[in-house]
Amino acid sequence: MIVRPKENWFRLLFVWNGSVLSSIIPQLTFMAVVSSLAVFTHGRVLGEKIPLNTAPFTLFGVALAIFLAFRNNASYERFNEARHLWGSLLIASRSLTSQMLCYVPERADTLRVAQRLIGFVYALKHELRGTDPTQDFQRLLGREETERLRDQCYKPAAILNEIRRDVVNPQRSAHTSDTKLWMFDAQINELGKVVGGCERIASTPIPFAYNVLLHRTVYAYCVLLPFGLVDSTEFFTPLLCVFISYTLIALEAIASEVADPFSTAPNALALDAMSRNIERSILELCGCPLPAPVAPVRPYQLT
């Protein structure tokens, strides 16, 4: 994911990294070749004129736009839900840390829970991305616990279980009432719901048939378009067709990226920055030194 500074309208016209243009250049080049051939042959294929005009493309374009809008809305709903889940993760982590600080007298217990909370956040990030959490675990949890978690299939759930054990320990020492323990448990349950929601999004892609149908329809429309425009636009046909193809193909590419909000694609969630933000928030509550935030940079870089 790219962490971006705010840009003005003029700079946005020339943004390259983070746009999908770099990934669809081969398709646009193919469309430029097809459009040029349509102009060169005057809309003929194997000597036969293709009897197309702009009327069917206008009607079909409206239907295609509606279908693309549905596909993009479905993808953005997944992205938006994922962002809300990580917002809930931030809120529940802060709340549990604050409650431990205020209601548990032993600071060592609170700091242990805080470190495991941060480790839980990074474990969830790595599980969703399918990356190795060892380096973050060693930094946050220590070598011994890292080795213990190495063979766990669901590391966030395992760490959450350890957090629950840590919260129960003060109860054994009669420092925490049942009411306070219930309050702690409610925040831990909220963290568990976040894990389940993220796993649901990651393991349930948009049905494959939608992707296939939209992909085939977009390319059929773009390939036939030059033969419907060549009689009216002549030498401007390649320019118009490439621009229209860019809009349709780019929308499909954006929908594919946004539909997987936990990936490392430029338009996925900035999980690195969000994890660091949660870490900083928890450490600040505990009065500990803060690591540097993940800041926007130029030129744009992947985090």
Q: Which two tokens stand for residue 147?
A: 């080795």
User: How far is it, in rounded angstroms, from Cα 200 to Cα 92?
Assistant: 19
Among 290, 289, 293, 264, CA closest to 277: 293
Q: What is the pLDDT along the chain (303 residues), one digit of tens a residue?
A: 555 666 666 676 777 776 788 889 999 999 999 999 989 988 888 777 777 777 788 888 888 888 888 889 999 999 999 999 999 999 999 999 999 888 887 788 889 899 999 999 999 999 999 999 999 999 999 899 999 998 889 999 999 999 998 887 755 555 567 788 888 899 999 999 999 999 999 999 888 888 898 899 999 999 999 988 888 888 889 999 999 999 999 999 999 889 999 998 888 899 999 999 999 999 999 999 999 888 765 544 443
In the chain, where the domains are located: 18-285
| C-alpha separations of 295 from 11, 129, 185, 274, 291 in Å | 19, 21, 34, 11, 12
Q: What length is written for the chain? A: 303
E strands along 39-121, which residues? 44-45, 48-49
Cβ contact 140:122 at 8 Å? yes
Cβ contact 181:96 at 8 Å? no
